[in-house]
Structure 1
Amino acid sequence: MPFPLLLALSLAPVSIASETRDLDFEYNWSAEAEAVPALSRRFRADAVRQRQAMNRMAVAEKKARREMGTSDWNGLQFSRSVETAGQSGKLLSLVTSTSSYTGGAHPNGRTSALLWDRKLSRETNYSALLLAGQRWDGALRLPFCVLLDRERAKRRGETVVNGEWPSQCPEMKELTIALADHDRNGRFDHADLTADSYVAGPYAEGPYEISLPITATMVQRLKPEFRASFEAQPPVQ
């Protein structure tokens, strides 16, 4: 077992939490992320920044409510969770889910992906793993659009007729794309695509999460040094 994986097993997930009348705050990340010193420092610093920003926002919100003559106050909320989507000896793939309530009608949520190159000790992205001139966009977007419409039809109870929002298929740049190892064998086998609330439908429908297999054709488009970190799957039927 590669050293980074052994180190991750010796560490525990990290959780930073506090609750006051003004702010319910939680920030946590996986043991695999904690095993990377640069990521550990990054998330700890971000937790401090986010808590300070939310506290400032709470002060401003309470002041605004007093000026409007409104006395109701239930405080604000912030939570961020960084989970491991998959890892190999070369790469660590993380997905961050953030939820915040800042005094509006409802909490707002969003996701993001982080791919870490263990050898170079820096953040990268899946496009940087591909051979020059190669892309995965076509291999991902078409099946994503098909499966998205199937899921939207279930949630809406009617067939989706493509057009403008909320029935269009989002562009790739609007989606969170994370490499995932579903069977946890140290090789990436899927790409998990997330359309956050409002991206593919109204808030009430929530986010849409579509998992797509990484096919043999997609693996062949990778640079040779990364191919061993992937495991080809049959295409979507």
Structure 2
Amino acid sequence: MTRPNIWRNAIPTLAAAALLAGCSDPEPTPAEKAAAASVPGAPPGGAADLAVKNAPASKVEEKTGLVEFAYSYPREAAAIPELAAWLDGDRATKRDALIAAAQRDKAAAEKGGFPYRAHSHLQKWQRVTDTRRFLSLSAEIDTYAGGAHGMQGFGTLIWDRNRRKLLQPLDLFASGEAFDAAIRDSFCAGIKRAKTAKGIVADEPPDSPFAQCPPASAQTVWLGSSDGRYLDRVTVAIAPYEIGPYAEGSYKINVPMSGELVRAVKDEYARDFLPLN
């Protein structure tokens, strides 16, 4: 499919990844830097930083009377060809779906004699963390399909450099059930604190769809790192309507990387996690 000429690709938007703290490797030679830049998906730090510096971030934008579409991802992702290809494919899929739905709804509006409101899909991937093994990305997604209001959603992915494979955060754990059991108390307590911070203190009636704390595994999980070496941070993003009415908006709940949670990690990933206790 031919893309409109108003699309803009490869717009640099982020600074290069920083060198890992405490790295004691000697400064690479110019030849080593050039070699590192040619290695797809090379880990961060040392010579491999050059590969990230040379990879422009990717951003496309389109706005017409029919749709508004935007999709971007950072240079750290653009430096990994397989990951960039997946993101480009996801972008094309999202745009095609938006166009198809918009054309259908516009035709229905014209037939029914009521105004059509342009549909939109705005998605921005950002780096959560970039360790020697994992690149963790988060996405915030705003959509509108002609209704009373738009919707907010979230995305997540992890690139495993060792296996050269795209993963979801929960793929690193023994099971969704094991993840939920390890995180439930801190996650549910975090929701209560977040609601209180918004001034929401009334208890929901037992028959309310929002009365129960939902499983964290059913939400969007982001894994991060405080030192660029180990995964030691967890955030659970919750979209509107999941734990409250639309007016409450979305939530981002930070929970500790407890020893219990790390014990729920699959053996092959255990060395990449660092518990807080």
State whether structure 2 residue 79 is matched by structure 1 residue 40: no
Percent identity (aligned): 24
Partner of 2:11: none
Query: For 2:83, what is the secondary structure of its paired residue?
Result: helix
Which residue identity is paired with 2:232?
D
Partner of 2:143: 100
Partner of 1:229: 272
TM norm structure 1: 0.85
- Confirm or deny: 8 A CA contact 2:235 2:252 kept in the other structure: yes
Query: For 2:110, what is the secondary structure of its paired residue?
Result: helix
Offset of 1:209 from its aligned partner?
0.7
Greater gyration radius: 2
State whether structure 2 residue 187 is matched by structure 1 residue 155: no
Aligned length: 231
Matches of 2:157 and 2:210, distance apart in 1: 27
- Confirm or deny: 8 A CA contact 1:111 1:196 kept in the other structure: yes
Shift in alpha-carbon separation, 1:119–1:22, aligned structure 2, 3 A: same
Partner of 1:139: 182
Offset of 1:112 from its aligned partner?
2.4
- Confirm or deny: 8 A CA contact 1:129 1:226 kept in the other structure: yes
Which residue identity is paired with 1:178?
W
Deviations 1:112-142 (A, max 9, x none): 221221111112344543579x933222111
Shift in alpha-carbon separation, 1:60–1:127, aligned structure 2, 3 A: closer
Aligned-pair Cα RMSD in Å: 2.5
Shift in alpha-carbon separation, 1:125–1:162, aligned structure 2, 3 A: farther
Q: Point out the structure with the larger strand share.
A: 1
Deviations 1:174-209 (A, max 9, x none): 21111112x353332211101111111111111111
Deviations 1:57-100 (A, max 9, x none): 22211211111111x33411111111121121111211222221
Partner of 1:175: 219
Query: For 2:198, what is the secondary structure of its paired residue?
Result: helix
Summarize the alignment of residues 209-220 of structure 1 with structure 2, pairs less than 5 Å apart: 209-220=252-263
Summarize the alignment of residues 193-204 of structure 1 with structure 2, pairs less than 5 Å apart: 193-204=236-247
Q: Which runs of 5+ in 2 are unaligned?
A: 1-18, 21-41
Matches of 1:186 and 1:9, distance apart in 2: 20
TM norm structure 2: 0.74
Partner of 2:26: none
Deviations 1:207-235 (A, max 9, x none): 1110112124434554565445333325x
Matches of 1:74 and 1:31, distance apart in 2: 34
